[in-house]
Amino acid sequence: AGALTGTPERHEIAAPAVAPIATGETLEEDFNRASAFRFLVAEGYASSMAEAAVRFSISFEEMSTSLVGLSSFDHIKQAISAAEKGPLDGEVLERLKTLRTTFT
C-alpha cells in the first residue's frame, strides 16, 4: 500500500514500516495530500488510483521508464490494462499541474 491507495495497511510481503517518500514529513501527511488526487477516480478520469498513476507516468514523452510496484499477477494485469488506456488527457494534466503547486 502507498499514499495513493488511501490505506496505511502494508501488504504481507512488504516492509513493515517505511519512511515518507513524498513531500510530507510523515506517512500520514502523505496520505492526506494524496487525497487531493481522488478526483481522478470520482470524476471518471481513471477507474482506480493505481490506474491514474500508471497513466500519469506515461503521459510524458520525456519519461522513458516507469517503475510499478506489484505483488500479484492481478497487479500486472491491472498495470498493463492501465497502460493500454493511454496517457491522461491534457485537461487533466493541467489540473494536476495546478494542484501540485499547492504542495509546499
Per-residue pLDDT of 24-75, as tens digits, reads 677 777 788 888 999 999 999 999 999 999 999 999 999 999 888 888 899 8
| Domains: count for the chain | 1
What percent of the chain is modeled with pLDDT above 90? Answer: 49
pTM: 0.80
- For residue 69, the number of C-alpha atoms closer than 13 Å in the C-beta half-sphere is 12
Q: Which domain holds residue 8?
A: 3-100
